[in-house]
Amino acid sequence: MNNKQEPDNRNNFEKQLEELEEWQENQYYPGHYIGTGRIIKFVKELNKYWLAPLIIGVICSSLVFVFINNILNLSLSSPEDTLELIRNIIFLSFFLVVGIYGIKSGIQRYLNR
């Protein structure tokens, strides 16, 4: 049984090497893969990794609450507080967008695998 599985693994490995070599030779030719129906192996397998974007999205979304708390605790009595408010709003916006995109991407990849 081991002898039967070994050639399959070797053939699969050789096929992956051939695909990689083809990609290396043609990576700078625009349109090489367009209209042929061929997709590079590592592009095919991107949907397998759904947990990482989901975790990153949850972490970034949870950081939003930290910045909301910082914004609510500012007194705005000095120009430095105003600059800190602007900085917190920028970071809040960034982490909110990254968090929502990560959660959305993770869920889509999980559903499409």
Q: What is the mean pLDDT of the chain?
A: 82
For 49, 81, 90, 105, the CA distances from 55, given in Å and listed in that order, are 11, 32, 22, 11
Residue 3 has pLDDT above 60, yes or no: no
Residue 5 has pLDDT above 60, yes or no: no
- pLDDT digits 0-9 by tens, 59-111: 999 999 998 998 888 888 888 888 999 999 999 999 999 999 999 999 988 88
Instruction: Parse the chain into domains and list their residue ranges.
Output: 1-40, 49-113
**Residue 4, SS3?**
helix
For 31, 32, 54, 102, 105, the CA distances from 38, given in Å and listed in that order, are 12, 9, 28, 28, 24
pTM: 0.58
